A and B are shown apart, each in its own frame.
Chain A
Amino acid sequence: SQTIHQWPATLVQPVGSPLSLECTVEGTSNPNLYWYRQAAGRGLQLLFYSVGIGQISSEVPQNLSASRPQDRQFILSSKKLLLSDSGFYLCAWRTRQLNTEAFFGQGTRLTVV
């Protein structure tokens, strides 16, 4: 069966510090991968998506970047965090097949102080 791992679960970082969040998927190959952010009491905002190794598309201009160094690994990064980067970050995957669902990792609660 497929599983998705995302870590860390919580993170408190000072303004101006770097960020690296990692997500890995098991049990499937060549998935579409996504990073979402959820602000408190809000819906999920798509940040990045990837359809293959090294292929990253950004949905919103921001202080973050993403990379996909391996087929089932997706990394979210920042060189210098801002207070506005605080939120709940979620990695998700979806197969290429039609009529399939997206599944989420456990999420990372990031607080920038």
Chain B
Amino acid sequence: QKEVEQNSGPLSVPEGAIASLNCTYSDRGSQSFFWYRQYSGKSPELIMSIYSNGDKEDGRFTAQLNKASQYVSLLIRDSQPSDSATYLCAVSRDTGRRALTFGSGTRLQVQP
């Protein structure tokens, strides 16, 4: 079992729709959770971080965390073609190395 699992996609949504990206993780000791966006050939860019159960909203983005289910999601409202990218889910403990463990990413395509 992979430590962080994501559907590789591609997830295709029309412009203006809601894109829903999901991620599950295996380490119950994980305390920090992140979503990064990565355009082809570029380095990952932080979109959202979430540290406690529930929802966190930032503009068109909402991250949702359910530690009991070991599940993290990202909602993108009013999707734009510029949102087309690979979205990486990452988790970490806040002790020891504190390194992020990444999923393999979900490719999102927003159709104009």
Contacts and interface: CB of A to CB of B under 8 A. Distances in A.
A94 B98 contact: yes
Contacts of A98: 31, 94
Interface of B is mostly: loop
Given A42-B104, A44-B44, A105-B43, A99 B94 contact: yes
B11 to A, nearest CB: 16
Contacts, number: 56
Interface residues of B, number: 25
Nearest to B51: A99
Given A43-B88, A44-B88, A102 B97 contact: no
Interface residues of A, number: 25
B102 A44 contact: yes
Interface of A: 32, 34, 36, 42-44, 46, 49, 51, 57, 59, 90, 92, 94, 98-107, 109
Interface of B: 4, 31-32, 34, 41-46, 49, 51, 88, 90, 92, 94, 97-105
